[in-house]
């Protein structure tokens, strides 16, 4: 019988902080999209009710993906990045502009920087 050493997976302060902030931010975002759809449509005329509902749902999906990230699942990382691509395209479509849409990708860069040395822990 081979004794295998169990690998200790430590998130550390920065990864834990990023995931907690992402969790809170996405919960707030989903709440805002579902609770303030009229105000959002007034601010962004290109934003349809269906698109607002999609963005709210995307916020809820992101919460599930963040939980997967917390549990060291690669699907969480890949899902968050896919979600950011959707959000980037939608932000361009509704007229936020390139700089505004690019600012939405900052979270992806921060996430990459916090998980790059811990990637071996993800399954």
User: What is the per-residue pLDDT across 28-72, written as a single tens digit (0 to 9) for each?
Assistant: 999 999 999 889 999 898 898 999 999 999 999 999 999 999 999
Residue 6 maps to a domain: no
| H-helix segments, 1-123 | 12-35, 37-43, 49-70, 74-93, 98-103, 106-115
How many independent structural domains does the chain possess? Answer: 1
Average pLDDT score, the chain: 89
pLDDT at 4 over 60: no
In a domain, 62, yes or no: yes
Residue 94 contacts by C-beta under 8 Å, 6 or more apart in sequence?
Answer: 44, 46, 47, 51
d(CA 123, CA 118): 11
Dihedral over Cα of 54, 59, 62, 64: its sign: negative
Whether 7 is in a domain gets the answer: no
pLDDT at residue 78 in the model: 95
Q: Percent of the chain scored above 90 by pLDDT? A: 65
56: closest CA among 40, 77, 32, 76? 32
Q: What is the pLDDT of residue 17?
A: 93
Residue 3 included in any domain: no
- pLDDT confidence bin for 95, thresholds 50/70/90: confident
Q: Is residue 4 part of a domain?
A: no
Q: What is the pLDDT of residue 33?
A: 93
Residue 2 within any structural domain of the chain? no
Residue 69 lies in a domain: yes
- Domain holding 65, by residue range, is 13-121
Residue 32 lies in a domain: yes
pLDDT above 80 for 23:
yes
């Amino acid at each position: 019988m081979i004794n295998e050493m169990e690998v200790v997976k430590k998130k550390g302060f920065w990864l834990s902080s990023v995931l907690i902030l992402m969790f809170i931010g996405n919960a707030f975002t989903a709440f805002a999209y579902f609770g303030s759809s009229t105000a959002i449509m007034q601010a962004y005329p290109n934003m349809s009710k269906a698109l607002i509902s999609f963005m709210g749902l995307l916020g809820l999906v992101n919460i599930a993906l963040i939980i997967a990230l917390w549990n060291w699942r690669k699907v969480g990382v890949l899902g968050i990045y896919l979600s950011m691509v959707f959000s980037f395209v939608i932000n361009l479509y509704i007229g936020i502009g390139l700089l505004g849409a690019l600012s939405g990708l900052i979270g992806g860069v921060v996430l990459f920087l916090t998980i790059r040395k811990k990637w071996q822990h993800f399954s």
